[in-house]
Structure 1
């Protein structure tokens, strides 16, 4: 007797259905076991335990605990009824599934008996069909993975494009702010440094002067530019930043500090060398004033 592919497919469907029914019966049985365990658990506090509790805590309010205990008993009774209902539903479902499985086993036995002479051929064909199914599934998985890879690559390109646009916009905003701060401090007498940002790198260029003072001045310009164009709540500049910057520039920087509506903390030495207006700004906004008689620490570390 020759076996057609349709007959092999029918056997495969029988076996797949049997596998499904076995898994389903196991799942229902596990749920039944959980419900039976929950029904057996006793949540309320037994009276003998309550009596023992009063031995250790004589002043405890027993009436309140009893009320709570009664509440738990009522809740437990309601839950027990619900669990019993669920238990009966699951038992019925398990019986139906087991009946279906028993009927299916008979079908498989009858099917195999009718092809008993070609049993080896049947198994071989079934094995080939399984291999075919596996190869088709693997091919579909490969195609899905390739489609996902293409989608990821496309999304990555889109993200890189957005990042590039964002960095370019940020670069323009910061450079515009640097020019504004530089104009306030130098009134067009000195060219503003330029920030060059890309996704992976940056440059901060000042072709006119590469000395220490220019480096500190450019750092202050950058700080103030970012400070003015962001949600940064405050900045702090220490006194060493001002050491190598010319006095007129420092005076304008302090005036810029004074014009800001946000908080700026600085430490500055030799305030007396600046013009009167700047000295007044420093004095009016000073929080801590230090000199030889008023040192920050008990020991004067400069001596």
Structure 2
């Protein structure tokens, strides 16, 4: 609980607080500009707010830089702090004499308060909890028709989300919200990939056309497979293309081998003709040409023999070279044929068959890729839509529970205030919108009473640690209801801070409650919060 606030610039330097209702009391004339709302702003400042500085320019102008010292008690231990009006983002931790020991950030300080008030709700900050229920003149949460809104024109859904979080009903929605964001990100990324042609993009009509064409292609492949004893069925287009390339290399290798072998046979035949012609081999020649000069012919033949003998060494070397080339070519042929066998088990596939199969497979893979992209896109969209539907249904269910819980409590409190004689306020939720009203009663006093009833309901139903109601809220409410509202405040086990004036206009019981819970009394002529009023000439 908040135990004390100290400021050297206050007329009453130190204000000590009660564990339940705390009243800042004005005079019986309803005097303005004496500091009631300002002090409530300072309480909000102590609870981590910033509006005391941001929305109270006249205070900063007339008072100047000043320090707000304050103490909390949690589990019987006191914690001392101070905040400087010139440094909104830091809070000083102090000893019991308010000497600064260390400094922490405002967010760390708010986490300290959240922890020590035993608030363990996820996805909601301490300020989003208490700030909405600190209703002080100058803040933007005083619209009696929109009690959930913390500022004017708050983003749609934000007020309702804050209440769902405070009631512990948002986690189930949040999980689906996160999943929905993931699904939307996936779908968006896939559509971007399609837009930039990284992935195929087709419609349902093209998908169905592809299915028909794929059926025809499968039939064609099946026929090819049957013709090849079903050995080509599992060859994809990439492998088929590889086989075609290997067949081309095999053809070249075989031509090279044939060329080398032809040269080898020619040389081998030449080398076999290495003996000179004998004289008796010319007998048949003399029979037809008796005048032939056998001696000259013999000398010419001897010359040819001698030439062959000289070239014999070179032919032998060439023969050995060709033998090696034939061997290399044969090894190349064996290697290529082995590679082909590893891809397919058909040794004599024709290039035409492979080419046809490769083309069919390419077309099939393209169509299958297009259809797969279409089905993936449909699947992602369906998943996104299903998740959204689940999120919307979960939100609807949680809002229904929230609506029942709040309306039940508001009826209970309203019946207490009016002894069951007046209709209670009713809140209804619809997705990101809400309506707050009393059926058949749109009066100003009723509307402000409704806001108080709503706040008290939330205070009782949740871990909301404090409530702040300025006199601008309470003075609009009919006198008959004020006494019961003050009693309801007093029954709370949590701290409530209110400002009030014209106490004598209310019942004796109301006056007693106000005086018993008074922690600070302000009035004009030197008894203002800072000892003076800025509007005096």
**Is 1:194–1:204's contact at 8 Å kept on the other side of the alignment?**
yes
**Is 1:14–1:108's contact at 8 Å kept on the other side of the alignment?**
no
Tell me which of 467, 481, 490 is aligned to 1:235.
467
Between the aligned partners of 1:299 and 1:123, the Cα distance in structure 2 is: 100
Between the aligned partners of 1:213 and 1:166, the Cα distance in structure 2 is: 31
Between the aligned partners of 1:170 and 1:146, the Cα distance in structure 2 is: 36
Tell me which of 165, 169, 175 is aligned to 2:397.
165
- Bigger shift: residues 260-269 or 135-144: 135-144
Alignment match, 1:44: none
Instruction: Supply the RMSD in Å over aligned alpha carbons.
Output: 3.6
Between the aligned partners of 1:291 and 1:166, the Cα distance in structure 2 is: 47
Change (3 A) 1:9 1:297: same
Higher strand share: 2
Between the aligned partners of 1:131 and 1:149, the Cα distance in structure 2 is: 27
- Bigger shift: residues 290-299 or 255-264: 290-299
Give matches, 1:5-154, under 5 Å: 6=232, 9=235, 12-13=238-239, 107=339, 118=351, 122=354, 125-154=357-386
Deviation at residue 240 of structure 1 after TM alignment: 0.5
Query: Which protein, 1 or 2, shows the higher relative CO under an 8 Å CA cutoff with sep ≥ 6?
Result: 2
Tell me which of 247, 255, 265 is aligned to 2:497.
265
Matched, 1:181 2:409: no
Deviation at residue 208 of structure 1 after TM alignment: 3.7
Deviation at residue 247 of structure 1 after TM alignment: 1.8
Alignment match, 1:301: 534
Cα deviation, 1:200-240, whole Å, max 9, x if unaligned, reads 32222223432222221111111112222222222211110
Cα deviation, 1:40-92, whole Å, max 9, x if unaligned, reads xxxxxxxxxxxxxxxxxxxxxxxxxxxxxxxxxxxxxxxxxxxxxxxxxxxxx
Tell me which of 455, 460, 474 is aligned to 1:223.
455
Change (3 A) 1:285 1:124: farther
Between the aligned partners of 1:7 and 1:187, the Cα distance in structure 2 is: 87
Between the aligned partners of 1:152 and 1:268, the Cα distance in structure 2 is: 53
Alignment match, 1:191: 423
Deviation at residue 134 of structure 1 after TM alignment: 2.6
Deviation at residue 261 of structure 1 after TM alignment: 0.9
Higher helix share: 1
5+ unaligned residues in a row in structure 1: which ranges?
Answer: 17-102
Q: TM-score, normalised by structure 2?
A: 0.35
Tell me which of 370, 376, 387 is aligned to 1:155.
387
5+ unaligned residues in a row in structure 2: which ranges?
Answer: 1-223, 243-334
Deviation at residue 180 of structure 1 after TM alignment: 0.9
Between the aligned partners of 1:300 and 1:10, the Cα distance in structure 2 is: 91
Between the aligned partners of 1:216 and 1:10, the Cα distance in structure 2 is: 77
Change (3 A) 1:261 1:14: farther
SS at match of 1:197: strand
Between the aligned partners of 1:214 and 1:7, the Cα distance in structure 2 is: 83
**Is 1:168–1:197's contact at 8 Å kept on the other side of the alignment?**
yes
SS at match of 2:428: strand
Between the aligned partners of 1:108 and 1:288, the Cα distance in structure 2 is: 99
Between the aligned partners of 2:241 and 2:503, the Cα distance in structure 1 is: 92
Deviation at residue 147 of structure 1 after TM alignment: 3.5
**Is 1:11–1:108's contact at 8 Å kept on the other side of the alignment?**
no
Deviation at residue 110 of structure 1 after TM alignment: 10
Between the aligned partners of 2:463 and 2:240, the Cα distance in structure 1 is: 67
Deviation at residue 125 of structure 1 after TM alignment: 4.5
SS at match of 1:173: helix
Matched, 1:212 2:438: no
Deviation at residue 260 of structure 1 after TM alignment: 0.6
**Is 1:8–1:125's contact at 8 Å kept on the other side of the alignment?**
no
**Is 1:185–1:252's contact at 8 Å kept on the other side of the alignment?**
yes
Q: TM-score, normalised by structure 1?
A: 0.59
**Is 2:437–2:447's contact at 8 Å kept on the other side of the alignment?**
no
SS at match of 2:441: coil
Between the aligned partners of 2:482 and 2:534, the Cα distance in structure 1 is: 27
Between the aligned partners of 1:179 and 1:252, the Cα distance in structure 2 is: 14
SS at match of 2:232: helix
